[in-house]
Every structure is written in C-alpha cells, then in structure tokens.
C-alpha cells in the first residue's frame, strides 16, 4: 500500500504511521508512507517520505490511499473570530490541495479518508447519536460540516470518501488527557459543571486500529460504496461516560483525589463559546464500526487508562 497523510506528524498521524509500519512489517507486506508537509526540513522517521504542498501540486506520483488529518486543534485556544477563521482555514486549504491533486491525477486513489469530529452533531445531551442522526447547528457543527462537504467533492473524481468523526482521544502523549495530567497529579483535578455531561471518547490505539480497519475493508471490497460513494464512521468507544465518571476514573488511575468542581459559569467566563466543548455533552455511538465488525481493544474507559504508561 502507498499512502499519503496530511497531518502525519501530529498526535494521531504519527501513531497511525508507526502502527501501520509495524503491522505491514509483521505481515511482510509492502508499504510506503508519505507525509504531506509545508516544511521540507521537518524531522520524520527514516521509514517515511516527505512531500511538500508545492511538490504535491506538480508531482505525478500516485497513492492507493490518502488520509487527511491536517487541522489546528479546536480546543487549543479561545474561539475569537480570528481563531474561528484559522480553524477553518487550517482544514480547508490542505483539503483543497488534496482535491486538486486528485482531480489531475491520472491514477486515482482508491480511497480518501478525511478527518472530522463528533462536534458535527452539536450539543445534544444524552440523546444517542449514530452516523444517521441529525445535527444541532453551532460553530463546531459548521466547522465539521464545511470540512466534510469539501472532502466529499473527491467523489466527483470517482474516489470513494470515508469521513471519520473523532471523539475525545485518550492517550497521555497528547490531546485532552495530556493537558489534564499535571493538574490531576497535583490533586487539583475535578469535575466540570454538574459532571453529568456525556463524554464520547476513544483510546488512541482503537482510533488507529479503526482507521486501519476502515482502509483495509475498503481496499478489499468489503465496503460497498457504489450508491453514494461515501461512508461515515463515528470514531468513539461503545461506552461513553459522564464527566463525573471520567474524573473519578482518571483520579483512581493516578491515585489522586478529585474533590474539586469547576462551575459552568466559571468555565463560560474562562473559555467563552468554546466552553460548550466542556459542559455540553454528546452521547455518540460507533454504530458503523460495530456493524463492520470492528472489535475494540479498549471498550471501557478503565481499560483505556490502566493500559497506559506514564
């Protein structure tokens, strides 16, 4: 397999690349991974090639699969108007470059896997949400919907598209968990608001495993996309938890108390509109993955945490 990855050096892309390399080496199968980058001097593993966006616009290379993960972190900064524009641009520009490449390629990719997030659904409390559920309109939905609809334009070139809507990814190397480790280790961890908001999460190992499974099923012909040419997958574990449960599980894993509470009003003052990510829940179900027969390595939060090393 020859795969091109935008955002390959990131929290998810790097883990995906490492796991895929190991998997294909064990199976003695050919694999070539290329990371798409804006900086040609970026450090990278020896087993991975680099391609700049300028080179992409000129290359006649072909790829079996494109994995589109490029995009600034939605929870990294407060949502000012400028930040909202930056979040959108960081997703739109790389995707447009990939679409241009696909359109002019004489040998088309067999699949485009394009990132999104469960923010597509908007805040819907305890309502179970599958890939066929409707959305509530807010900024997170607008951001994800714009990104998804752009990526789906690859179908106009005859390339199937798999949209992966990612939940909160659990691993100490990055994401939300990495940000929480220090305050929780200091005994300053606690629940957010009333703690009843639902958190839809997935271990990074399962995120990687699910994406590999999606790719391999598409390439093997197990996924039939003749009708719509696209599919959607919720990348979340089958057992979402409340923020209260998450707080207690994290404290138990770290052997630290979790008596504190950060009131919703304080969170709104601190983070403004972005506070919705912290105090409004989403109960997202990975129905498409389950229907496809994916077996979660860590289906419960306790399993996902206790298998990690610090």
Tell me the CATH number at 135: 3.40.50.720
Buried b or exposed e, range 42-66, using 16+ CB within 10 angstroms: eebeeebebbebeebeeeebebbbb
Pairing of strands 128-129, 283-284: parallel
Helix (H, G, I), strand (E, B) or coil at 295: coil
User: pLDDT at position 8, please?
Assistant: 95
Q: CA 22, CA 24: separation in Å to the nearest integer? A: 6
pLDDT in tens, 122-137: 999 899 999 999 999 9
Q: CA 193, CA 266: separation in Å to the nearest integer? A: 9
Cβ–Cβ < 8 Å for 236, 285: yes
Decide if 197 is inside a domain.
no
Mean local confidence (pLDDT), 271-281: 91
User: pLDDT at position 45, please?
Assistant: 82
Tokens 């995906």 belong to residue: 16
User: pLDDT at position 46, please?
Assistant: 83
Taken in order 267, 269, 270, 273, the sign of the CA dihedral is: positive
pLDDT in tens, 174-221: 999 999 999 999 999 999 999 999 999 999 999 999 999 999 999 988
Cβ–Cβ < 8 Å for 87, 135: no
User: pLDDT at position 307, please?
Assistant: 85
Decide if 105 is inside a domain.
yes
Q: CA 294, CA 310: separation in Å to the nearest integer? A: 28
Structural domains of the chain, count: 1
pLDDT in tens, 78-99: 999 999 999 999 999 999 999 9
User: pLDDT at position 130, please?
Assistant: 98
User: pLDDT at position 227, please?
Assistant: 54
Per-residue pLDDT at 166 exceeds 60: yes
pLDDT in tens, 19-32: 999 999 999 999 99
Could you tell me the two tokens for 108? 């088309």
Per-residue pLDDT at 148 exceeds 80: yes
Decide if 21 is inside a domain.
yes
Q: Which domain holds residue 90?
A: 2-169+202-236+284-296
Beta strands in the chain (DSSP E): 2-6, 32-37, 48-52, 65-68, 111-117, 128-129, 161-166, 168-170, 190-192, 198-199, 201-203, 230-235, 241-242, 260-262, 283-284
Decide if 133 is inside a domain.
yes
Per-residue pLDDT at 310 exceeds 80: no
User: pLDDT at position 303, please?
Assistant: 96
| Mean pLDDT taken over the chain | 94
Cβ–Cβ < 8 Å for 154, 127: no
Spatial CB neighbours of 159, under 8 Å, sequence gap ≥ 6: 102, 108, 109, 110, 111, 112, 229
Decide if 128 is inside a domain.
yes
Mean local confidence (pLDDT), 144-168: 97
pLDDT in tens, 26-80: 999 999 999 999 887 777 788 899 999 999 999 999 999 999 999 999 988 999 9
User: pLDDT at position 208, please?
Assistant: 98
The model carries a pTM of 0.95
Cα angle 205, 200, 23; round to 5: 15
Helix (H, G, I), strand (E, B) or coil at 39: coil
Decide if 189 is inside a domain.
no
Decide if 6 is inside a domain.
yes
Decide if 185 is inside a domain.
no
Mean local confidence (pLDDT), 275-300: 95
Residue percentage of the chain with pLDDT more than 70: 98
């Amino acid at each position: 397999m020859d795969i091109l990855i935008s955002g390959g050096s990131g929290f998810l892309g790097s883990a995906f690349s490492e796991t895929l390399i190991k998997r294909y080496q064990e199976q003695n199968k050919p694999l070539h991974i290329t990371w798409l980058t804006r900086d040609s001097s970026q450090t990278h593993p020896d087993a991975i090639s680099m391609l700049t966006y300028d080179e992409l616009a000129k290359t006649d290379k072909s790829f079996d699969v494109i994995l589109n993960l490029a995009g600034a972190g939605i929870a990294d900064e407060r949502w000012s108007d400028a930040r909202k524009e930056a979040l959108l641009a960081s997703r739109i520009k790389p995707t447009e470059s990939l679409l241009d490449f696909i359109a002019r390629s004489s040998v088309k990719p067999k699949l485009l896997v394009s990132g999104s997030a469960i923010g597509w659904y908007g805040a819907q409390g305890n309502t179970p949400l599958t890939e066929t559920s409707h959305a509530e309109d807010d900024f997170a939905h607008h951001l994800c919907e714009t990104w998804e609809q752009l990526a789906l334009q690859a179908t106009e070139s005859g390339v199937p598209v798999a949209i992966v809507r990612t939940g909160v990814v659990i691993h100490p190397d990055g994401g939300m968990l990495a940000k929480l480790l220090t305050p929780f280790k200091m005994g300053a961890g606690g629940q957010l608001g009333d703690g009843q908001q639902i958190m839809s999460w997935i271990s990074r190992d399962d995120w990687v495993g699910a994406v590999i499974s999606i790719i391999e099923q598409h390439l093997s012909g197990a996924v039939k996309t003749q009708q719509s040419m696209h599919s959607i997958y919720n990348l979340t574990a089958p057992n979402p938890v409340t923020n209260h449960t998450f707080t207690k599980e994290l404290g138990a894993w770290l052997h630290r108390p979790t008596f504190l509470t950060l009131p919703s009003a304080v969170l709104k003052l601190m983070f403004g509109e972005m506070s919705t990510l912290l105090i409004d829940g989403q109960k997202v179900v990975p129905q498409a993955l389950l229907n496809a027969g994916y077996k979660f390595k860590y289906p419960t939060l306790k399993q996902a945490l206790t298998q990690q090393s610090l």
